[in-house]
Structure 1
Amino acid sequence: MNDQPQGLAAPSGCPVAHGAGITRLYGEESETDSHDIYARLRKRYGTVAPVLLEGDIPAWLVLGYREIRRVLDNPSQFSRDSRIWRDWQEGRVPETSPLIPMLGWRPDCVSQDGEPHRRLRAAVTDNLQAVTGRGIRRHITHFANKQIDAFADAGRADLVTDFAEYLPMLVLTRVFGLAEREGRSLAESSNQLMKGGADALAHNERIMGVLAELAARKRAEPGSDFATGLLGHDASLDEDELVNHLRLVLITAHTMTSNLLARALQLILTDPSRHAGLVSGQLDMTTVVEEVMWNTPPLAVLPGRFATSDLELGGCALKKGDLIVLGLAAGNMDPQIRPDSETSVVGNQSHLAFSGGPHECPGQNLGQAIIETAVDVLLHRLPDLRLAVPAEELTSTASTWESRLDSLPVEFAP
């Protein structure tokens, strides 16, 4: 993320001094942890800042906790329907833009509001409840042990690439009724899609192809899985709705859970007291995950909302059709609600990590089950697990939407 020279267009109503540049939320200089960038934007603009996304597409980044809550809770003012996005309507966002997989309209519940949203969301929530109650922890335990078996004899591992990066997708292949062999490549495509860039559209199309084949197979051969459940739901999803909801849950559940699992393991292994507390049973995993969701939420920036009329937000004059992206990581650290990062968040579930309002993430229980079970299996199998490098050497790479831990090297008795 870097301040750009003059000449770049800002969103309408932008409080930018003459000749000032607008911060880009993409590019090589953005690939670092972003809290210092958010702090600089907050100091310069307040709770809402003008930014540029890939292709120099203007947007408003909301940094304030209360302002984010206002956006999430008021779909009549801040719609999720990108068909009203003015830059899209006026042809400034090409079909080939890497923003399209994240912001473009799709026939899924995330892209709609009101009654269409309620109908489609019911199909997702009902079937997620069904699969999470259908022996899900047994599947997680199976795949966690299988991942650990691959490195247990070595005495060393990278818990990002050897464990957290693929485990959620392996579980999801079982939940969806996919072949296990699809897990690794689907995880890689999901991660590349979140990173954006030139290959984002190709990876999105690959995912859509796999899921279209799955939908066709499940019509012919139903099973006790998420895809079959969507097919038989009272919401009567058509083919496009079915495949797009499979895509939505697959990508969101995998990318958020893998990121959150890696961050939870990082917190445990860089704090001996937490590690000891979990091993001894004096600390529960829910408390650890809660802290991670406050301090390093798996989705740093949430796409996207669109102003349904001219309105004011955080002192900025937004125009109808303006794009709004929500800085969940920044909002969780808003000094108006957390005067410093050490403010205790134990027992406080009002973080923004799962969004909020009508579009709040419906897969929270699935993600929580994967993380809690995976960590439990890992610490049981490898009770002497320890970080193999100094904590300060751990690095992260950020994109527009997220910040991911690069690696987590560990040692243990073979």
Structure 2
Amino acid sequence: MDQSRQSPHACPFPFPGGAVPLRGGLLDQDPRRFYEGLRGRWGAIAPVELGPGVGAWLVMGYREVLELVWNEQAFSSDARRWNALVEGSVPEDSALLSVLGWRPALHRLDDQAHRRQRQAVTDTLNGVDLRRLRSAVRRRAEALVDGWSTDGSADLVGGYARPLAGHAFRVLVGLPASEERRLAALLGSISGGARDAARAEAELTGMLHRLVAARRDAPGPDVTSWLLAHSVDLTEAEVAHNLAAVLLSGGESTVGWISGATRLLVGDARLQAAVADGPLTVKDVADRALWGGSPVPTIAGRWARADLTFAGCGVRAGDLLIPCLAAANTELLAHGSHDQGSRAHLAWGTGSHGCPAKDAARSIVETAVDVLLRRLHHVRPGVGDTAPHRQPSLWSSTPEALPVEFAPIPPGPNAVTAASASPTVMDVPEKRQDEPEADSGPTQPRWSWWNSLNGW
């Protein structure tokens, strides 16, 4: 355990009475200042309160976050170890459980159970054709722009980023188009920590269970069907919960990333010109957005496997430790590691539980930004958009709205057909992956976008 940086203050034990509430106030208004103040008082790790009587450790140091997510011998991803649950401190209907509760999915498992499900998700996501994904996203993005382009104003969160990400991930998992709007709303409620998050999660899980049951009988060109066909033989419940994990980690994060990238461009004529004229690319803008603010400020936590000392604080077995990616990236920038193109930032997590959908998300985000740059010109902040309000959530940095103004433009030439297209991003599995092929001929190569990850 890295002891090179000790907490400058004695850490309280137990949590209640000495923990900093992680809700309201400066955290909602200016997260960066909040984290800087918290780090100035406590150091790399601080005692915080997630809800009444529910304590945790917020890990803000860059090295400490890496230690937390990489050291699987000391820290577990299995929420059944959480002492707050064992002690009854977390109400059964708490919104916290929507993000932190145990599920039979790979992001909440350790060791062999984790590796088994990771293999299925890895192989399945390798089948996604990113060229087809970009094409599907571009068609939907063009249709969304056509819907408000003549108005001269728009909300780039509610009218663009959220429905576009919802469409892309709806297509990936194979939900019908009729579920698209509801899917986006459910993901927003859960990641935003809304009061009805528990109900939203139950509805999302039910939606996915119905999808899995339908795909068991009639496979489609989607991630769901390929997970069911995998040789590790996932149960229907495991498939449904892994789909939920992909949607929550990838879908809502993509909304935040699109919002962050477009926010950089809005009102910055120089940046828009730099991309249009060639010195910068859309990819550069996407990377700058990650440095400017992680789409996921904090990721679902880890639990100490045993009593230990971490960054100078005494941590009990079963204590929850939350990796704060936003604070860790801020510290990295403060020490001069500010290469905008560098992937040293932790915007998508790291280690064996890093986000599984970051490359699909990058394809979606870069396509979304490219469409806006090509279609809209001289985009400027809308009325009252001096500092867009963010959702009061630890798990999402997406602003509630991003109003913009621009010169009205006519719809694109393909406005009628763009919205009616029914895209697919992979083929239909014809048989279980462990069944022998009928012949030994060459197989169609599959697009692999997983190789850059360390698994999940």
Same fold (TM over 0.5): yes
Deviation digits for residues 155-212 of structure 1, max 9, x if unmatched? 2111111101221111112222111221111111111111224311000011111111
Partner residue, 1:92 = 89
User: Are the structure 2 counterparts of residues 24 and 360 from structure 1 closer, same or farther at C-alpha, using a change threshold of 3 Å?
Assistant: same
Identify the range of structure 1 (263-272 vs 321-330) with the bigger mean alpha-carbon deviation.
Answer: 263-272
Contact 1:310 1:318 in 2 (8 A): yes
Partner of 1:339: 334
2:119 partner SS: helix
> Kindly tell me: are residues 343 and 84 of structure 1, through their superposed partners in 2, closer, same or farther at Cα, counting changes over 3 Å?
closer
| 1:199-238 matches, cutoff 5 A | 199-238=196-235
Alignment partners' CA distance in 2, 1:21 and 1:73: 28
Partners of 1:171 and 1:225 in 2: CA distance: 12
Deviates most, 159-168 or 255-264: 159-168
Number of residue-to-residue matches in the alignment: 399
Aligned to 1:388: 382
CA change 1:258–1:48 in 2 (3 A) is same
User: Which runs of structure 2 are paired with 1:250-399 in the superposition (5 Å)?
Assistant: 250-334=247-331, 337-339=332-334, 344-389=338-383, 392-399=386-393
Letter in 2 for 1:148: V
Q: Residues 16 and 34 from structure 1, CA distance in 2 versus in 1: closer, same or farther, beyond 3 angstroms?
A: farther
Cα separation, partners in 2 of 1:90 and 1:358, compared to 1, 3 Å: same
Work out which of the residue numbers 40, 62, 80 in structure 1 matches 2:77.
80
Residue type at the aligned position of 1:163: Y
User: How far apart are 1:343 and its partner, in Å?
Assistant: 6.1
* Structure 1 residue 400: Cα displacement: 2.4
Query: Which amino acid counterpart does residue 258 of structure 2 have in structure 1?
Result: L
The farther-off stretch of 356-365 and 128-137 is 128-137
Partners of 1:332 and 1:241 in 2: how far apart?
33
2:36 aligned residue: 39
SS at match of 1:373: helix
CA deviation after TM superposition for structure 1 residue 241, in Å: 0.3
Kindly report the root-mean-square deviation, in angstroms, between the aligned alpha carbons of the 2 structures.
Answer: 2.2
In structure 1, distance between residues paired with 2:75 and 2:56:
13
Question: Amino acid of the residue matched to residue 411 of structure 1?
Answer: E
CA contact (8 A) 1:50 1:58 kept: yes
* Preserved CA contact (<8 Å) 1:279 1:383: no
* Higher mean displacement: 380-389 or 98-107: 380-389
Q: CA deviation at 1:17?
A: 12
Contact 2:252 2:396 in 1 (8 A): no
2:45 to 24, 45, 48: 48
The equivalent residue for 1:7 is none
Q: Give the aligned residue type for 1:392.
A: T
Amino acid at match of 1:306: W
Structure 1 counterpart of 2:311, which letter? G
- Report what 1:190 is aligned to: 187
TM-score, structure 2 normalization: 0.83
Report the alpha carbon displacement of residue 54 of structure 1 after superposing the two structures with TM: 2.3
Structure 1 residue identity aligned to 2:176: A
In structure 2, the CA distance between the partners of 1:59 and 1:20, relative to structure 1 (3 Å rule), is closer
Contact 1:78 1:305 in 2 (8 A): yes
Q: Does structure 2 conserve the Cα–Cα contact (< 8 Å) formed by 1:132 and 1:365? A: no
* Shift, 1:26, TM fit: 2.2
Question: Partners in 1 of 2:55 and 2:293 — Cα distance?
Answer: 25
More moved, 215-224 vs 22-31: 22-31
Deviations along 1:305-356, one digit per CA (max 9) or x if unpaired, are 000111111110111111101111001111xx3337x863223111111111
Post-superposition CA distance 1:337-388 (Å, at most 9, x none): 3337x86322311111111111111211100000011111121122343333
Alignment match, 2:244: 247
How far the C-alpha of 1:294 sits from its partner, in A, is 2.1
Q: State the alpha-carbon separation in 1 of the partners of residues 262 and 135 from structure 2.
A: 21
Which amino acid letter does the alignment assign opposite residue 195 of structure 1?
G
4+ long deviations beyond 6 Å: 16-20
Ranges in structure 2 where 5+ consecutive residues have no aligned partner: 1-9, 409-456
**SS in structure 2 opposite 1:68?**
helix
Whole-Å Cα distance in 2 between the matches of residues 87 and 390 of structure 1? Answer: 42
Distance apart, 1:15 and its partner CA? 4.0
Letter in 2 for 1:279: A
Task: Give 1:391 deviation, angstroms.
Answer: 6.3
Counterparts of 2:212 and 2:81, CA distance in 1: 30
**Using a 3 Å threshold, how does the CA distance of structure 1 residues 168 and 19 change in structure 2: closer, same or farther?**
closer
Change (3 A) 1:270 1:66: farther
Whole-angstrom CA distance in 1 between matches of 2:375 and 2:333: 37
1:83–1:144 CA distance, 2 compared to 1 (3 A)? same
Distance 1:21-1:270 versus aligned 2 partners, 3 A rule: farther
Give the alignment's TM-score, normalised by structure 1.
Answer: 0.91
Give the structure 2 partner of residue 120 of structure 1: 117
Identity among equivalent pairs (%):
36
Unaligned runs of 5+ in 1: 1-12
Q: 2:194 & 2:40 partners in 1: Cα distance?
A: 29
Within the candidate set 60, 65, 74, 1:63 is matched to 60
Aligned to 1:109: 106
Q: 1:101 to 1:132 in 2, by over 3 A?
A: farther
Task: Quote the offset at 1:403 in angstroms.
Answer: 2.5
Q: 1:141, 1:402 → 2: CA distance? A: 24
Residue deviations 1:267-308 (CA, integer Å, cap 9, x gap): 112432221122223311222222221220011111210001
Separation in structure 2 between the aligned mates of residue 313 and residue 344 of structure 1, nearest angstrom: 27
Residue of 142, 149, 152 corresponding to 2:149: 152
